[in-house]
Amino acid sequence: PAVAGPRFRRLRMGAGHRLDVKASGVLVLGIGHGNKLLTDLYNCHLTKVYTVGGLFGKATDDFSDTGKLVEKTTFDHITREKLERILAVIQGTNHKALLMHSNIDMKTQEAYELAVKGLIRPMVKSPPIITVIRCLQFSLPEFQLEIHCMHETQQYLRKIVHEIGLELKSSAVCTQVRRIRDGIFTLDDALLRTHWDLQSIQNAIWDCRLKVKTEIEKTLG
Amino acid sequence: VAVATVWGALRGARRPPQRPQPPPLCRGLAKTAGPRSIRQVREAEEAAPVFQYVGKAARRKDRVFVWGFCHSGALGVPSFVKPDAGWKKPRRIQPTPYRLETEEKISSAACGYGFTLLSSNTTDITKVWGMGLNKDSQLGFQRSMRDRTKGYEYVLEPSPIALPLEKPQQTRVLQVSCGRAHSLILTDSEGVFSMGNNSYGQCGRKVVEDEVYSESHVIHQLKEFDSRVVQVVCGQDHSLFRTKKGAVYACGWGADGQTGLGHYNITSVPTKLRGDIAGVNIIQVTSYGDCCLAVSDEGDLFGWGNSEYLQLASVTETTQVNIPRHLPFKIGKIKEAACGGTGNIVLTEEGNVFVWGYGILGKGPNLIETAVPEMIPPSLFGWSDFNPDIHVAHVRCGLGQFAALTNRGELFVWGKNLRGCLGIGRLEDQYFPWRVTVPGEVVEVACGVDHMVSLVKSFT
């Protein structure tokens, strides 16, 4: 056997924020001491960024295109402008929810200072909140959105796509959910399937440790 | 069948050929159950009917939303004051926007002190509706159904106001404005109509001693201006008229100098203002309490009236200014201004919002009063690195609250939440701009003392 070096037998591995079967993208794993860092990163409550692809004209029971068909509708009345109006309203109501769930008394001067800087966000478990949502591509019947959110699940994002379809008086299903950023880890830090070997993993851990340390110090003090 | 299997087991080799059995309980009508193949699913999906909820040429609908104090009937929903079922309780405050059904598209709305006027620029006979307090006939004469000789003191739902127009099927109503106990209606070809209390001459007609204003039929028409009137503004007990040539006329109470005519007496005939605005082309005037502001076409700001709350303290120490004075603020060219009871707000050409005066100004609980305008950070209105092209498009003022409309159609309010007038769902005061959740794009908002009306376009 041409394998040399130390044997790794007892490895404790943990996973960061969940990614369900139909979604793809960045999934953060921690090894050994990294599990403690994972818990700290979770308590930082950073936002995650997804690209969500949708398709107008269909409505299914599990909001994705592989589900059982519920209804088909027309969609030729939908324009990019209408979609962006709906997205602006979603962003507005979620911004309100962001301020409400952050549990700061609105009457204090420090609440005003934080709101000006945009640093208010809930530091405890809260319902899913979308901080930024915008349309990247729009060509009927397909469209692609970029969503920055926190405390969400991928099924919640599919439900958002479905509700956007309803709001535009049509229907929509979600075709793709891809996480492109999880807190401080982006697609550039992620390892491809072909790179799942020891050397790349070690390099990746080495490159990220500074980033993780600064972020935890900045948020948790 | 049992015989055949015994035969097969005994003989071993040959079995009689099995006849194809028909499926049990089948009359040739039903299909067999079981999981469908992918091809069947796809065919069923393609054959499914397509529903059309809205056609390609669907237009956006115009709606009116109201919120605030209901008891005076100013919101126009009778079930808030007189519930339609016996067990329901009357609603005192409506803390979130509530849709008001109207027959026509409303183009202009104004909130007074306990009453509201809505107007449409249609050529139909009924152009203006009023609801709320009518103790001084500020909504005209509303004939009571019970007694044909008397009028209503409180009007609970939008009721038409009969205007004495010469050409009712051609004249259009452009704008309405409401003050404390009087209201002004601007038409395109027949001048300005005024109704309501005239004890200080604010309706533009001579003060009659001991006149009884309730259940009065008097609607006065004002036509003598140097050119066509393009904007009417009601202060608390005075009226301002802006004409096409850029001149400003005023009448009404002047004890705080709000008529700007150089004296502190009442004026019962609209008189042209001089002072620093003589010869200047004014493009907007505003007032709601006892202080007035005017914006010129070059972006300069002029003010007169009450200055007890430091509204004009940047130019003078006196608390009453009875002649228009130029306010030399170095904040950029002014696009729009709005005056409240104790605070003022302006919008500059760059889209920045400045506030000054006294009260909850919108920069946190620490800023209570300032004589010099302070800017409200644009990040509070939704501006961020992801949305760099959001800016404020209009500013409005009520008595103790402020409202700002962004170019995306979002409404932000802040100030004293008197009887739920902010519409944010809570009854506490709001110290910095807060979004009001309205199901639509807000096009126009009118602020009153304790209620607000907004004109909204639906999304799709």
Across the interface, do A112 and B364 touch by the CB < 8 Å criterion? yes
Q: Look at residue B77 and give its three-state secondary structure.
A: coil
Residue B20 is predicted with a pLDDT of 60
Residue A99 is predicted with a pLDDT of 83
Does residue B7 carry a pLDDT above 50?
no
Residue B23 is predicted with a pLDDT of 59
Q: CA A62, A65, A67, A73 torsion: positive or negative?
A: positive
> Is A62 an active-site residue?
no
Domain count, chain B: 1
Across the interface, do B366 and A115 touch by the CB < 8 Å criterion? no
* CA atoms of B81 and B160, how far apart (whole Å): 20
Average pLDDT across chain A, whole number: 88
Residue A96 is predicted with a pLDDT of 84
Residue B241 is predicted with a pLDDT of 94
Average pLDDT over residues B109-134: 93
Query: Each residue of B141-172: pLDDT tens digit?
Result: 988 888 888 889 999 999 999 999 999 999 99
Residue A150 near chain B (CB below 8 Å):
no
Residue A116 near chain B (CB below 8 Å):
yes
Residue B37 is predicted with a pLDDT of 83
Across the interface, do A77 and B45 touch by the CB < 8 Å criterion? no
How far does the CA of residue B55 sit from the closest CA of chain A (Å)? 6
Q: Tell me, what DSSP letter sits at residue B311?
A: S
Query: Each residue of A18-53: pLDDT tens digit?
Result: 888 899 999 998 888 888 888 888 888 888 999 999
Q: Which helix (H) or strand (E) holds B40?
A: helix B38-47
Name which residue leads in pLDDT, A13 or A161. A161
Indicate whether B432 belongs to any domain: yes
Q: How many alpha carbons fall within 13 Å on the CB side of residue B111?
A: 30
pTM (two decimals): 0.86
Tokens representing A14 are 């943990």
Indicate whether B418 belongs to any domain: yes
Question: Helices marked H in chain A — which ranges?
Answer: 34-44, 80-101, 109-117, 154-167, 198-220
How far does the CA of residue B238 sit from the closest CA of chain A (Å)? 35
Name which residue leads in pLDDT, B12 or B378. B378
Q: Label residue B28 by pLDDT band (50, 70, 90).
A: low
Q: Domain range for residue B287?
A: 58-457
Residue A212 is predicted with a pLDDT of 87
Query: Each residue of B56-114: pLDDT tens digit?
Result: 888 888 999 999 999 999 999 999 998 888 888 898 999 999 999 998 999 999 999 99
Mutate to test the interface with A, among B59, B431, B441, B458 (most CBs of A within 10 A): B431
What is the side-by-side order of every strand in the sheet holding B62-69? B93-100, B62-69, B451-457, B441-447
Across the interface, do A88 and B377 touch by the CB < 8 Å criterion? no
Average pLDDT over residues B343-364: 93
Does residue B26 carry a pLDDT above 70?
no
How far does the CA of residue A86 sit from the closest CA of chain B (Å)? 7
* CA atoms of B397 and B382, how far apart (whole Å): 20
Residue B271 is predicted with a pLDDT of 92
Indicate whether B91 belongs to any domain: yes
The residue extents of the domains of chain A are 12-44+184-215, 48-182
Indicate whether B267 belongs to any domain: yes
Indicate whether B51 belongs to any domain: no
Does residue B8 carry a pLDDT above 50?
no
Residue A10 is predicted with a pLDDT of 79
Name which residue leads in pLDDT, B8 or B74. B74
CB-CB neighbors (< 8 A) of A96 in chain B:
434-435, 437
Residue A61 near chain B (CB below 8 Å):
no
Query: Each residue of B135-144: pLDDT tens digit?
Result: 999 999 988 8
Residue B17 is predicted with a pLDDT of 59
Query: Each residue of B48-69: pLDDT tens digit?
Result: 888 888 888 888 889 999 999 9
CA B7 to centroid of chain Cα atoms = 93
Nearest to B408 among A88, A107, A109 (CB): A88
Across the interface, do A107 and B431 touch by the CB < 8 Å criterion? yes
Domain of B251, CATH number, reads: 2.130.10.30
* CA atoms of B216 and B399, how far apart (whole Å): 27
Name which residue leads in pLDDT, A121 or B189. B189
Indicate whether B28 belongs to any domain: no
pLDDT over 90 for what percent of chain B?
A: 59
* CA atoms of B148 and A188, how far apart (whole Å): 80
Residue A107 near chain B (CB below 8 Å):
yes
Taking a C-beta distance cutoff of 8 angstroms, is the pair B331, B375 a contact? yes
Query: Each residue of A106-162: pLDDT tens digit?
Result: 888 888 888 888 878 888 888 999 988 989 999 888 999 999 999 998 999 999 999
Indicate whether B42 belongs to any domain: no
Domain at A48-182, CATH from 3.40.50.2300, 3.30.2350.10, 3.30.420.40, 3.30.230.10: 3.30.2350.10
Indicate whether B46 belongs to any domain: no
- CB neighbours of residue A59 within 10 Å: 20
Q: Which helix (H) or strand (E) holds B2?
A: helix B2-11
Q: Label residue B422 by pLDDT band (50, 70, 90).
A: very high
Q: How many alpha carbons fall within 13 Å on the CB side of residue B251?
A: 24
Which of B220, B126, B227 has the alpha carbon at shortest distance from B173?
B126
pLDDT over 70 for what percent of chain B?
A: 93
Q: Label residue B18 by pLDDT band (50, 70, 90).
A: low
Does residue B1 carry a pLDDT above 50?
no
Which long-range contacts (C-beta less than 8 Å, at least 24 apart) are formed by B45-51? B45/A69, B45/A72, B48/A69, B48/A71, B48/A72, B49/A72, B50/A57, B50/A72, B50/A73, B50/A74, B51/A71, B51/A72, B51/A73, B51/A74
Query: Each residue of B241-260: pLDDT tens digit?
Result: 999 999 999 999 999 999 99
Residue A102 is predicted with a pLDDT of 84
